[in-house]
Amino acid sequence: MDRYTGLMRPEVEQAAALLRENTPASVSAAIELLQRTVFAFSMKVCGHPEDAEDTMQEVLMRSAPHLVRLTDANALAVWLYTVTRNRCWRMRRRHAGAPDRTLSLDELMPGEGELAEIAARPSPEQAAATGEMTRLVHRAVLAIPPQYRLVLVLHDMEDLDPEQIARVLNLRPGTVRVRLHRARLAVRRAMAHLLAVGELPSGSTASSAQAGVQSATQVTPQASRLRKAAPERSRRSSRAQAAAGHPEATLADSSKAKKPIRPAACRQLFAQLSEFLDQRLPEPDCQRISRHLEGCPNCIHFLDDLRQAIERCRNLSAAQTGAEASSGCDSQVSAALRDLLTREYLRLMSDPAA
């Protein structure tokens, strides 16, 4: 059973309900909720406050005729994320010459050394303060390829189900699920890299995460302890520090490394972890995975690490994408736009033939 079917951000459902009330106050409140939703989604996808505010203004400026017709919350959500995604896709700033990457399960599957590090790693709560963890999660999300990032943000942060995401991105639901699983695996690895390196500059953006800007490379005491627990890490330390400001480089390096050799049962489980965590697998498959976990400590540690990474992404709320989230939606321009849209919406509702 899909635990997310029919769910979406409460702000979108609240906005749809407020629009149906059709009063100046309710319409203005609904548009403010939509402004914040578009801004927050844009920040999570592209990481640039300027682009996020431009996207919010452009999307909402043209929204009044559509809002009059979209009385259903589900239809409103699909329309809103579709037009916002299209605007973000045009606006996204990418490192020159960097093509979209396809992530394979083989390159994302952990080797023995990484599994040993996961088992020895302190919990994220012990490893970083709340503010640091927020910046780490946002940087890790921005580090994964855009086609995977969009699915991750829409599912784990905006609470759309795979069928809704398929409509937004014009994909098959099965493709959405595949990309979601690989996005989660990639963001888990990027998050682990940033935790180990201990480099969390403020104001990180998509360009800094992907272009490899200069950053500090001091290794934390936690990372030193992990090296002692897993000697293989010391042989990779120079490469990890070179990629300190570029988490995606770590993902790229891993694809060139020798593929880890894992038992067939572990490999099969690895491909189904997201479906297992989201309770989408048939009961016999769930029982088979549970039996395997009972006898495989490595898979248990990895599953817990992946679960923690997913929860961190889900907790990256609109207020946690950066201080810009509040200022971007509370500016004088946003207030003026909200007033204009409220009057235009009420005019169209009073005169449908206009």
128-145: pLDDT as tens digits: 556 677 888 999 999 999
What confidence category does residue 150 fall into, taking pLDDT thresholds of 50, 70 and 90? very high
Is the pLDDT score of 192 beyond 60?
yes
Q: Residues 87, 177: contact at Cβ < 8 Å?
A: no
What confidence category does residue 220 fall into, taking pLDDT thresholds of 50, 70 and 90? very low
CA gap 34, 119 in Å, rounded: 42
Number of neighbours of residue 298 by Cβ within 10 angstroms: 17
CA gap 86, 84 in Å, rounded: 5
The first and second tokens of residue 30, run together, are 């609904």
Mean pLDDT of 151-167: 95
CA gap 56, 84 in Å, rounded: 8
Q: Residues 203, 245: contact at Cβ < 8 Å?
A: no
Helix, coil or strand: residue 205: coil
Task: Supply the pLDDT for residue 215.
Answer: 32
Task: Supply the pLDDT for residue 340.
Answer: 95
Q: Residues 210, 246: contact at Cβ < 8 Å?
A: yes
pLDDT in tens, 285-321: 999 999 999 999 989 999 999 999 999 999 886 445 4
Task: Provide the whole-model pTM.
Answer: 0.76
> How many residues are listed for the chain in this entry?
354
pLDDT in tens, 27-82: 999 999 999 999 999 999 888 888 888 999 999 998 999 999 998 999 999 999 99
User: Domain segments of the chain: what residues?
Assistant: 10-93+323-350, 105-319
Percent of the chain whose pLDDT exceeds 70:
69
Task: Supply the pLDDT for residue 126.
Answer: 53
CA gap 3, 169 in Å, rounded: 21
